[in-house]
Structure 1
Amino acid sequence: MKNFKYIYLVIFLAAAGCSNDEFLDREPTDILGEEQVWGNEDLVFSVLADLYNRLPDYQGLENWWEYTNFDEAFASNAGDYGRHQNQEYSYGDWGMWDYAYIRDLNLFIERCEAATALSTESKASFLAEAKFIRAMVYFEHVKRMGGVPLILESMEYDYSGDPTYLQYPRAKEHEIYDFVIAEMEDVKDDLPNGSTKSRATKGAALALVSRAALYAGSIAKYGQLTPEVSLPGGEVGIPNSMADAYYTTALNASEEVMSLGTYELYNQDPDKSENYTNIFLNKSSNNEVILAKDFLVQGRTHGFTIETIPRSLREENTSGGKLNPSLNLVQSYELLDNTFAELPTKDASGNPIYYDDPMEIFAGRDPRLLGTVIVPGSSFRGKKVDIWAGYKLQNGSVITSDQLGGQAQLPGSSSSVQVVGFDGPIDQLEWSAQNGFYLRKYVDTSVGSGQRGTGSAVWLVRFRFAEILLNAAEAAFELDQLDKAAEYMNQVRRRAGFPVDLTPSEIDFDRIVHERKVELAFENHILWDKKRWRLAHRIWNGVSTNLTNNPGDALAVSTRVFGLKPYKYYEPGSPNNGKWIFEEFVPAPVFNAHRFRLGNYYSFISDGVRNNNPKIIRNPNH
């Protein structure tokens, strides 16, 4: 009977509704019409906020695993070991072809231009912001795909059976860069000078010009090293003759950011390592950040700290410790006398070097190392992180455990003692420091940020002033303005803690590459920098080599992720008993070298895209 009662109720309500014409004519209450949206600035901003939120980040705080695709880090998560086991990059990796997004932006711009209820000031601001987002989206396309169709108006199908009028060919690669640059120059003065970090500003528009022009200049210059990575129509590849003009644009845009007086290097903490860390944690008084994805502004948090916090300090039992920075990166941090050196694990005779404290092996290096990486012996959240691999005996054997903090008996002892750290490293024990390191950068120090019910509100920095200085240094170097190149690079290095400047004669391509590597580590630059310099196929060449002994060499092959095991030395009666020794190693899941092929410089355009539009030609080497 109960079911019949429900049926009768539905019939009654339907009949009652049909008997009243006014009911059918009522406006829906759960859908806003265009007039309602474009008559209310708050509603317009809510639409714009969604467009901001869709900006893509190949590497970011919501997808930690992408940081482990190259040589910056190891993925201490069993489901991601494949990133180190069969790493021939797919032609489709990091690709993008999102014209639904571009259509939404074009529609927003058209409707904003047609709106009559908005103030002149608000209308100009909304338009400038939407054009900034659209330029960012086209920049994301071109750095992945090369030239793409440049569509600047919404298109509608007329259902005539002939869709050819909707089919646009690919623009030349340089035309997309030119559009991004020209669009930002056009709208920059309609944007505020500062006052926000999560929305477009004049500084953000100029930062995009700085980065885009630098990329285009690099492709124009270094693309000549890979002539087979080009297309005769210019959809891929930029003429070498355009390089200097792009470098000049990049330098001018960078210097215009400097002249705004809005941005400066963050330099508030006397401890240089902590100062560097706090660039990414301190939101309240930070004039270095130009544009960031601020999750708290969106009323949400993320789980990056949950996934990456050291194992012994985690606040959830189901995660932690998944991202281990590589020894490749760690040894790239030079000494404070401006020289490069391997970590000293052995003396000239090949014997182990003994240390009283595990931190000693990292002493005298660029402070950005400890601001980026949690190394053996260091602390986090006021607690010592327990990274050590076991006891090394005189005969070379090791006493350890397959359990974190595990215990065993040492020779000559009748009781058990701890023989491995509570943070690892233990081979193939996921969610621990499998290669001897944890990430420090972006990991939240706030209690509760490692819990799923709370999460972290640390922002993802997209543009910051240090990058602008390095962009300017690189552009000036390429234009043979070495005095400027040295001054801009040295500003970044002085803030880092280097007591002696580099001279103009010491600025070379290797220095440009290195400085970006350490200053911008884990900031979604590694892939795009190596691609634009045409270095990627040379350093990730598929050959399983040893760890380079020249970390300052831009061409040093780095195809496998290395680690560092700290051991306590055990030889009672020896002056070295209880001291620390270190051994470089390759984590067990790393058994294949990264291989970047020429076809990886530009991603694959899907068969579906090309079938729908025969004017779209393939990328080279696909």
Structure 2
Amino acid sequence: MKNIRYAWFAIVLLTFGQSCKKDSEYLNKQPTNTLSVEATWKDPNLVLSVIGDLYDRYPDFQTIEAWWEFTDFDEAFASNGGDYGRHQNAEFDYGSWNWWDYAYIRDLNVFLKRGQEATALSEADKNRFIAEARFIRAGVYFELVKRMGGVPLITEPMEYNYSGDPTYLQHARAKESEVYDFVISELEAVKNKLPNSASTQSRATKGAALAMESRAALYAASIAKYGVSTGQVSLPGGEVGIPASMATAYYQKSLQAAKEIISDGQYSLYKKNPNLSDNFSSLFTDKGNNPEVIFAKDFKLKTNKVHGYTINNQPRSSAEEQQGGRLNPSLNLVQSFEKLDNTYASLASVDASGNPVYYTGITDIFAGRDARLAGTVILPGTQFKNKTVDIWAGYMLANGTIITGDNFGQTKKDVLPGKPGTVQVVGADGPIDGLEFSAQSGFYVRKYLDPATGSGQIGTRSEVWWIRYRYAEVLLNAAEASFALGDAQGAADYLKPVRDRAGLTTALTAGDMSLDRLVHERRVELAFEGHELWDMKRWRLADKAWNGNAMSAADFTNATNIGVAARTNTQVFGLWAYKYYNPGDANDGKYVFKVVKPSKVTAAHRFRLGNYYSLINQDIINRNPKIVKNPNQ
């Protein structure tokens, strides 16, 4: 894959486009430290630097460059003092995930105009650059519409004429469906003008265009289908809300785009490692001939384009710096991974009578589960970088008394009855309630954690990429679209290879298919990949799952609704392991587990109807009175 370098002058060229003519002769002189637009568009390497900047500015929400965003909902706890507030605010802010960057769109439109006017480039280079910019612009509008609903569709660089009347520059919001239609049509228009190359993964390709089209069409279809349950989340002009009558056509477009990728045969599921959990984990860190990755934001050590995800989230006990452990996956997520017989079940910390269940090994409670669990989450007693993670909360005595500590791996003297001497009373990784960087939920994250030596060091950091589109999601898209179009068996068939890779050997049947099943499959396959918010929004499940109702340990110990898509998920819980101490008893030395709610979790998240579309800031409306506000805000 060719590395993209970012020239400092690219932004200057895109921002100003042409020099302004002035009377003073010295102002007419060409600067010696920049290049003219004309000079840039004669050299494909210089144009590449400009398009590289445009790629680099592509917006994401919940990524490895912002680990804390993964703790906004129910996937994880933020074990970092400055982020505890994420679990203490009941209501999501209306502007929490808004984004409105028309300067970026203008830069894309200017680039396209310059490209169309360029005469010195070869047709092949010119056509590819133009197609790439249209791909990026389609992605930007997709990012806008899924946050804001319908937005102004601007496809030409607008220029102010200094007349004192800017109203001709003001555009009203397009319908939400019109923005989706634009995204889909642009991707259709450019797909055959982009390289059809699975080995190109950080620039636009035919596969990337089709993957984005499949996702965008699926989002539009879902809003049309499920939006009827939230009828008050709409605007009379169609800026928000898509008619139910449009759902079928969008599902068909999503399925067709997915089928085109599948039938092309260039992409496949990653299957390099016989250990299924290790294989799933490696999918996100292996950049050598990875057949699953369609489009990614790349990072390179040699260009110092790196990130600190591993520094921030590596297990604290084996960290290469004295920090890490910030992102703690929740029991809510961990318990979602089903058993290998296709059934959902709570992790058995207590039996039917409420008595503790004793386990010989600390990992035994997780045995027989979907392999994606251990590929997504670092479980107690498992390894990272060939070092065993030390997660256990203390000793539990026969009478229920807990002996523990308040610092990593703390030791105490003469605290166990009948056993004089000094003993370690808590894991070197915790969990310790309120101690940042400890595994306060009982777990650390594994997905995207870099196993390379030095990746957890400040001076080195990680070059693991951020995968925006991958083949497994294409299969999930196809399954969901097929089900919505009445082909339940087709949906089961698309899910089968994804589930087979996870070790789930009993194939689902058409009768097993439901929205609940499809929601589950995306939750466990795509955790920590930035899908949860957008999926819950498009299915109109967000206000039902994040409903403001408090949760209790009983929701996890006696859970009967694990596979229900709309189940309450408002507070992050954890699962703590204890060593049972009762000399002479058959269970002495075994492990018991307790469901806990970290003390920093004090509020139950509530997603209001107004959260389905983000707040359009008042200053935007002040500058353009044609912009109407989003509903319920």
Q: 1:22 deviation in Å?
A: 11
Q: 1:316 deviation in Å?
A: 1.1
Question: Which residue identity lines up with residue 363 of structure 2 in the other structure?
Answer: M
Distance 1:499 1:447 in 2: 35
Establish whether residue 436 from structure 1 lines up as the match of residue 442 from structure 2: yes
Structure 1 residues 267 and 119: alpha-carbon distance in aligned structure 2, compared to 1, 3 A threshold = same
Distance 2:619 2:195 in 1: 41
**Alignment deviations for residues 307-361 of structure 1 (CA, whole Å, 9 cap, x no partner):** 00000011112x2000000000000000000000000011111110000001100
**Alignment deviations for residues 21-69 of structure 1 (CA, whole Å, 9 cap, x no partner):** 9999763221111111111110000000000000011111110000000
8 Å contact from structure 1 (residues 473, 484) kept in 2:
yes
Count residues in correspondence: 601
**Secondary structure of the corresponding residue to residue 358 of structure 1:** coil
Question: Which residue identity lines up with residue 95 of structure 1 in the other structure?
Answer: N
Establish whether residue 450 from structure 1 lines up as the match of residue 494 from structure 2: no
Summarize the alignment of residues 27-38 of structure 1 with structure 2, pairs less than 5 Å apart. Answer: 27-38=30-41
**Alignment deviations for residues 191-217 of structure 1 (CA, whole Å, 9 cap, x no partner):** 011231000000000001100000000
Match of 2:568 among 545, 553, 557: 557
Establish whether residue 310 from structure 1 lines up as the match of residue 321 from structure 2: no
Percent identical residues? 61
Distance 1:157 1:135 in 2: 25
Establish whether residue 485 from structure 1 lines up as the match of residue 496 from structure 2: no
What is residue 227 of structure 2 aligned with on the other side? 223
Distance 1:65 1:395 in 2: 39
What is residue 523 of structure 1 aligned with on the other side? 529
8 Å contact from structure 1 (residues 325, 439) kept in 2:
yes
Question: Which residue identity lines up with residue 64 of structure 2 in the other structure?
Answer: L
Q: Which runs of no fewer than 5 residues in structure 2 stay unpaired?
A: 1-23
What is residue 616 of structure 1 aligned with on the other side? 627
What is residue 134 of structure 2 aligned with on the other side? 131
What is residue 94 of structure 2 aligned with on the other side? 91
**Secondary structure of the corresponding residue to residue 142 of structure 1:** helix
4+ residue stretches of structure 1 with deviation over 4 A?
21-26
8 Å contact from structure 1 (residues 147, 236) kept in 2:
yes
Establish whether residue 328 from structure 1 lines up as the match of residue 332 from structure 2: yes
What is residue 14 of structure 1 aligned with on the other side? none
**Alignment deviations for residues 196-243 of structure 1 (CA, whole Å, 9 cap, x no partner):** 100000000000110000000000000000000000100000000000
Question: Which residue identity lines up with residue 352 of structure 2 in the other structure?
Answer: A
Q: 1:414 deviation in Å?
A: 2.1
Structure 1 residues 24 and 330: alpha-carbon distance in aligned structure 2, compared to 1, 3 A threshold = closer
Establish whether residue 507 from structure 1 lines up as the match of residue 519 from structure 2: no
**Alignment deviations for residues 75-105 of structure 1 (CA, whole Å, 9 cap, x no partner):** 0001000000113111111001110000000
**Alignment deviations for residues 546-584 of structure 1 (CA, whole Å, 9 cap, x no partner):** 335121111110100000110000111111111100000
TM-score, normalization by structure 2: 0.94
Q: 1:379 deviation in Å?
A: 1.1
Distance 2:527 2:506 in 1: 22
**Secondary structure of the corresponding residue to residue 392 of structure 1:** strand
Establish whether residue 426 from structure 1 lines up as the match of residue 429 from structure 2: no
Distance 1:482 1:597 in 2: 32
Establish whether residue 164 from structure 1 lines up as the match of residue 175 from structure 2: no
Structure 1 residues 24 and 132: alpha-carbon distance in aligned structure 2, compared to 1, 3 A threshold = closer
Distance 1:54 1:149 in 2: 20
Q: Which runs of no fewer than 5 residues in structure 1 stay unpaired?
A: 1-20
What is residue 578 of structure 1 aligned with on the other side? 589
What is residue 76 of structure 1 aligned with on the other side? 79
Establish whether residue 534 from structure 1 lines up as the match of residue 545 from structure 2: no
What is residue 604 of structure 2 aligned with on the other side? 593
Match of 1:568 among 574, 579, 589: 579
8 Å contact from structure 1 (residues 378, 384) kept in 2:
yes
Establish whether residue 468 from structure 1 lines up as the match of residue 474 from structure 2: yes
Match of 1:188 among 183, 186, 191: 191
Question: Which residue identity lines up with residue 580 of structure 2 in the other structure?
Answer: Y
Establish whether residue 239 from structure 1 lines up as the match of residue 243 from structure 2: yes
Distance 2:441 2:232 in 1: 38
Establish whether residue 146 from structure 1 lines up as the match of residue 149 from structure 2: yes
Structure 1 window deviating more from structure 2 (548-557 vs 420-429): it is 548-557
Structure 1 residues 100 and 354: alpha-carbon distance in aligned structure 2, compared to 1, 3 A threshold = same
**Secondary structure of the corresponding residue to residue 529 of structure 2:** coil
Establish whether residue 347 from structure 1 lines up as the match of residue 351 from structure 2: yes
What is residue 290 of structure 2 aligned with on the other side? 286
**Secondary structure of the corresponding residue to residue 417 of structure 1:** strand
**Alignment deviations for residues 405-450 of structure 1 (CA, whole Å, 9 cap, x no partner):** 1112211222110010000000100011011000000000001000
The Cα RMSD (Å) is 1.3
Distance 2:268 2:420 in 1: 60
**Secondary structure of the corresponding residue to residue 566 of structure 1:** strand
Summarize the alignment of residues 384-395 of structure 1 with structure 2, pairs less than 5 Å apart. Answer: 384-395=388-399
Establish whether residue 67 from structure 1 lines up as the match of residue 70 from structure 2: yes
8 Å contact from structure 1 (residues 193, 260) kept in 2:
no
Distance 2:84 2:407 in 1: 20
**Secondary structure of the corresponding residue to residue 591 of structure 1:** coil
What is residue 16 of structure 1 aligned with on the other side? none
Structure 1 residues 36 and 560: alpha-carbon distance in aligned structure 2, compared to 1, 3 A threshold = same
Establish whether residue 110 from structure 1 lines up as the match of residue 113 from structure 2: yes
Distance 2:493 2:543 in 1: 31
Structure 1 residues 394 and 255: alpha-carbon distance in aligned structure 2, compared to 1, 3 A threshold = same
Question: Which residue identity lines up with residue 593 of structure 2 in the other structure?
Answer: F
**Alignment deviations for residues 101-137 of structure 1 (CA, whole Å, 9 cap, x no partner):** 0000000000000001110011000000000000000
Distance 2:166 2:591 in 1: 71
Structure 1 residues 579 and 36: alpha-carbon distance in aligned structure 2, compared to 1, 3 A threshold = same
Establish whether residue 39 from structure 1 lines up as the match of residue 50 from structure 2: no
